[in-house]
Amino acid sequence: MSDDVEIDLDDLKRRMDGAIAALRTEFASLRTGRASASMLEPVQVEAYGQMTPINQVGTVNVPEPRMVTINVWDKSMVGKVEKAIRESGLGINPQLNGTIIMLPIPELNEERRRELTKVAAQYAEHARVAIRNLRRDGMDQVKKAKAEGMSEDEQKLWSEEIQELTDRFIAQVDSQLETKQAEIMQV
């Protein structure tokens, strides 16, 4: 391959790793029947004019296996936090007790498990889209390099490298999705 034109595969790989890490974070937020503070991580609250993670407007605790509590620091934010949880798609009904919001985690029924597997599939699809967008960025770099004098053979080699990298990361997403769906469906 040419020395004067270089495609940054390491940068593409690093950014694809970021998409996988984001997927893992989203998967951690899906509940599998036990309470976890991480299940609230993707939930954002409209606070002081901007979207803010719940853990930045209150203290999140897990006092028992089927309960998560949020002690909201600012009384005026309690309603907004409750609304954000209701609209998050977690399937949890918040209960208010002053500035403390209690989230009882119900036992997952078959229907809810199926819903959660669909949510997991959506998260995986978002990760696939992110990886495909990075692939497109890499292919755009190759096209730009071709315009700067890269040979057809080099262009083909780089395109194949980028596609191989993309396929490997898409396979990782699929594998993690299978694992998470099996975990959700486990009774």
What domains does the chain contain, in order, with CATH numbers? 9-26+109-185 (1.10.132.20), 34-104 (3.30.1360.40)
Q: What is the pLDDT of residue 5?
A: 54
pLDDT averaged per 10 residues, the chain (length 187):
64 93 84 72 85 89 86 89 84 85 82 86 94 94 88 90 95 94 80
Q: What is the pLDDT of residue 62?
A: 87
For residue 179, which of 4, 24, 71 has the smallest C-alpha distance? 24
Residues in CB range of 15: below 8 A, 6 or more apart? 134
For residues 68 and 34, the answer to whether their CB atoms sit within 8 Å is: no
Interior angle at CA 55, CA 54 and CA 59, nearest 5:
115
Could you give the dihedral angle defined by the CA atoms of residues 109, 113, 116 and 121, in that order, rounded to the nearest 10 degrees? -170
pTM (2 d.p.): 0.66
Q: What is the pLDDT of residue 4?
A: 47
Number of alpha helices (DSSP H) and beta strands (DSSP E) in the chain: 4, 6
Q: Name residue, tokens 């992110």.
A: 130
Q: What is the pLDDT of residue 187?
A: 62
Q: What is the pLDDT of residue 110?
A: 84
**Environment class of residue 156 by beta-carbon count within 10 Å: exposed (0-12), middle (13-18) or buried (19+)?**
exposed
Rounded-to-integer distance, Cα 145 and Cα 15, Å: 20
Query: Token pair for residue 144?
Result: 């730009």
